Amino acid sequence: MLERYSQDSLTFKKVEEILNSNLPDNLKSAASKVIEDRPLSREEIVYLLGLKDSVERKYLFDLASCVRHDNVGDTIFIKGIIEFSNYCKRDCLYCGIRSSNKVPRYRMKEDEIVKTAIEAANYGVDTIILQSGEDPFYTTEIIERIIKKIRETTHRAVSLSIGEREPEEFEIFKKAGASKYLLKQETVNKKIFEMVHGDDYERRIFLIKTLVSLKYITGGGDIIGLPGQTLEDIADDIIFMREAGIKMAGIGPFIPARGTPLENYPTGSAEITLNAYACTRLMIPLIQLPTTTALGTIDKNLQYKAFDAGCNVIMVNFTPDTYRSNYRIYDNKRKVEFYETVRDLSKMNRRLTALVKARSSS
């Protein structure tokens, strides 16, 4: 069997360093598992998620960075997101665009969505993410047409983030050319899921598994800091994603949203979010792991810090200005702009995809 890490890999060296140090046994046992290519135990993940000591966290982050380097390289992928509708039939307690919240609603026209996708592609993004509330206005046929047009005109990967749909629709969208689908589990704690989401947990998990079985590059992920959520729950989220065959994960802190039942709840912990990125990288070495806008909303630098903790993707927003401020899933949502992101990442000597580099300098 081919070993994942050779003796001269960065991961091997980092693990040796950890094993030869005075670090706590839990960190050492986790490091041994990484090098043996075995999954961390729930207890080990809980321990790592709860790390507070800055030296220990640095070891965790460095190990995650080595695992990223050895498995997927250090290139940062910039993806373009278009939030094409903020209508939503759901009423999730945490979300600012829940159906019962009073926000000005908008829907982008088909042509406008395609035009925006072409613009994003011209900036060099390798994936166009189409995101919306759960909006039945966009029928199967409309979504199918949009996917086809974007594929024909841009040849970029199309990723859908439009919530729950029927398995038959997933198949149609796949045939039309969508290769990725984000459907976060939000939390695998069934009680919390059903409390905040007001909907059937089993169906959610069924749909995620359906996406995996249809060979979508499937995105899961959770919200860190939901009411009542424990570190054990977050560890279970990571274990679930590994076992379900999840290949992308959107993990972000809870940010209170005005007008929602959770508006006065505390913001989720940025520290735990970063620890969760590192654990997810250790558990699913090949994962596409974006640093989320929610984390950047707490502090822009934290969003960049996540690249030191195993992340390798950032989503840049291409939603036209007229709509953007109304896609208010939480308050003060950070505007992640293309040029600013490229400039910041270049200053930090992060490697970007060739396409982005070429387009940003022309």
Binding site for ligand 5AD (CB under 6 A): 94-95, 184, 186, 223, 252, 254-255, 257, 294, 329-330
Least distance from C-beta 27 to ligand 5AD, angstroms? Answer: 29
Q: Which is nearer to ligand 5AD, 170 or 254 (CB)?
A: 254
Give, as one character, the DSSP assignment of residue 75: P
Question: In 3D, which of 229, 274, 228 has the Cα closest to residue 251?
Answer: 274
Least distance from C-beta 252 to ligand 5AD, angstroms? Answer: 5
Q: Which is nearer to ligand 5AD, 9 or 288 (CB)?
A: 288
Contact between 114 and 150 under an 8 Å Cβ cutoff? The reply is yes
Question: In 3D, which of 218, 280, 286 has the Cα closest to residue 40?
Answer: 280
* Separation of alpha carbons 337 and 322, rounded Å: 15
**Other beta carbons within 10 Å of 208:** 24
In order of 201, 210, 224, the CA distances from 256 in angstroms are 22, 31, 12
Q: Which is nearer to ligand 5AD, 124 or 219 (CB)?
A: 219
**Which pairing describes strands 252-253 and 217-220: parallel, antiparallel, or unpaired?**
unpaired
Least distance from C-beta 229 to ligand 5AD, angstroms? Answer: 12
Q: Let me know if 112 is exposed, middle or buried by CB neighbors in 10 A (0-12, 13-18, 19+).
A: middle
Least distance from C-beta 30 to ligand 5AD, angstroms? Answer: 27
* Separation of alpha carbons 310 and 317, rounded Å: 22
Least distance from C-beta 292 to ligand 5AD, angstroms? Answer: 8
Q: Which is nearer to ligand 5AD, 149 or 197 (CB)?
A: 197
Least distance from C-beta 18 to ligand 5AD, angstroms? Answer: 32
Least distance from C-beta 57 to ligand 5AD, angstroms? Answer: 22
Q: Which is nearer to ligand 5AD, 255 or 342 (CB)?
A: 255
Contact between 219 and 250 under an 8 Å Cβ cutoff? The reply is yes
Q: Which is nearer to ligand 5AD, 35 or 306 (CB)?
A: 306
* Separation of alpha carbons 176 and 150, rounded Å: 10
Give the residue closest to ligand 5AD by C-beta: 330
Q: Which is nearer to ligand 5AD, 27 or 49 (CB)?
A: 49
Least distance from C-beta 55 to ligand 5AD, angstroms? Answer: 30
Question: In 3D, which of 317, 305, 292 has the Cα closest to residue 345?
Answer: 305
Q: Which is nearer to ligand 5AD, 12 or 327 (CB)?
A: 327
Contact between 193 and 186 under an 8 Å Cβ cutoff? The reply is yes
Least distance from C-beta 69 to ligand 5AD, angstroms? Answer: 28
Q: Which is nearer to ligand 5AD, 248 or 342 (CB)?
A: 248
Longest CA–CA span in the chain (Å) reads 60
Q: Which is nearer to ligand 5AD, 32 or 332 (CB)?
A: 332
**Other beta carbons within 10 Å of 178:** 26
* Separation of alpha carbons 64 and 54, rounded Å: 15
Least distance from C-beta 39 to ligand 5AD, angstroms? Answer: 24
Residue 224 phi, psi dihedral angles, 5° rounding: -95, 120
**Other beta carbons within 10 Å of 190:** 13
In order of 11, 122, 219, 224, 308, the CA distances from 238 in angstroms are 20, 35, 12, 12, 19
